[in-house]
Amino acid sequence: MVHGSAILGRRALLAGLGGWGAAGLAGCATVPAGRPALSTLPAVRAEMDRITRVTVCLRPFRAAGPRMDVETVGDKTVVHNYGHGGSGWSLSWGAAEQATAKALAGGARDVAVIGCGALGLTTATVLRRAGANVTIYAAERLEKTRSARATGTWSPDSRIAAEGQAAAGFPELWEAMCRTSFRTFQDYVGLAGSPVEWSDRYNLLDEAPAAHAPPPPGVPHFASYIDRVRDITPRMVEVTGQDNPFPVARARKGASLQFNVTEYAHVLMTDFLLAGGRIETRVFNAPGELTQLKEPVIVNCTGYGARALWKDDSVVPVRGQISWLIPQAELHYGFYYRNVSVLPRRDGIVLQQVGDSEAFGYNDDREAPDLDETRTAVATIAGLYARMVPRAA
């Protein structure tokens, strides 16, 4: 959100449905009517009075894919690195590597980064590691940016481009960014505070999956590239019979990376500052104002803010709302059920309505919370657990 997405990324999660056509349903668990499931899992306490906050952000979707070109503004070289849709956190290290190579190609070693969200802070970190003198200029620190309101799940091709509208070489570029990011995230797994960790995920269905409906008028077909990295993407497998802890007819289980954004952002910020990076509070209202900076090279990582700053109408908002439940330390699994995703992070349980397709929230720039949306999500998850009883030890 800027860089968030559904729990596995809707596409990554639903990709696990492969083989769940008519033939693939044979042998799936079926819960007889009126008989509750015997759960071996701790329950999510989905209650309105446990909601601590509701946040909204706008993912910066561009049909052509993220803007990563280079242009000249006055006497400054500007490297663009924005418009990653719902994949900002997931692709951040790979995108930063690409931007760093372009920023340092001319020999400059003093670089400005505009923006302190997922892409800005990560790019600044990679530049600093490459030996550049880096200053981030931003109106807000990461905890106040839209990136801080992200779902926090591995979703590398969530609304990253429109099918058939990205440049010819973009799939290969996406794959390179994806692999670099995935490899780098492993360095953060196991650190104190669990900034990045693996968690189990379930996809739950009350009935056979429906055929994919075409997007509504005016909404593009979102590109899918996840098959290019199946070797690093754990597949979901059927959970059958008594191994299915949920009161649903069909369940699949897998695993995915998650970002505990509060701690992860703290680690990134601390590492950047300890390495000699600098951050200055500054607001830019037009590209020409960048010429006032002392650095000859500027990396523009303004995310959705580039729509206004750069007058880039190709950036389309995709609204996403998160309702935050009080954390439950015993929860180590997430799931998707009836168009609601649940992800138990260390800083709160992320509850999110994601709609019946990736068109949900498309071109919706409302950033005010919708409490009816929250109530619906809470009621959906509460209803699921109301049909379950604990299994005896």
Token digits for 30?
């079926």
Instruction: Look at residue 112 and tell me whether its pLDDT is greater than 50.
Output: yes
* pLDDT (mean) for 211-221: 82
* pLDDT score of 26 more than 50: no
Residues above pLDDT 90, as percent of the chain: 80
Residue 127 CA to residue 134 CA, distance in Å, equals 7
pLDDT tens digit string along 119-138? 999 999 999 999 999 999 99
Q: Hey, what are 270's tokens? A: 């601390």
Q: pTM of this prediction?
A: 0.89
Q: Does residue 21 carry a pLDDT above 60? A: no
- In the 8-state DSSP scheme, what is residue 296? S
pLDDT tens per residue across span 51-83? 999 999 999 999 999 999 999 999 999 999 999
Share of residues in the chain with pLDDT > 70 (%): 88
Is residue 350's pLDDT more than 60? Answer: yes
3-state helix/strand/coil string of 178-240: HHHHHHHHHHHECCCCCCEEEEEEEEEECCCCCCCCCCCCCCCCECCCHHHHHHHCCCCEECC
Q: Is the pLDDT of residue 164 over 80?
A: yes
Rounded CA gap, 43 and 249, in Å? 19
Round to whole Å and give the CA distance between 283 and 281.
7
- Between 295 and 243, whose confidence is greater? 295
Provide φ and ψ at 32, rounded to 5°. Answer: -60, 145
The DSSP bridge partners found for residue 245 are none
Q: What are phi and psi of 204, to 5 degrees?
A: -115, 135
Sequence-distant (≥ 6) Cβ neighbours of residue 274 within 8 angstroms = none
Q: List the chain domain ranges.
A: 10-37+60-314
Q: Is 360 helix (H, G, I), strand (E, B) or coil?
A: coil
Sheet holding 70-73, edge to edge: 70-73, 76-80, 297-300, 110-114, 133-138, 278-281
Q: Tens digit of pLDDT for each residue in 32-48?
A: 444 555 567 899 999 99
Residue 153: pLDDT over 90: yes
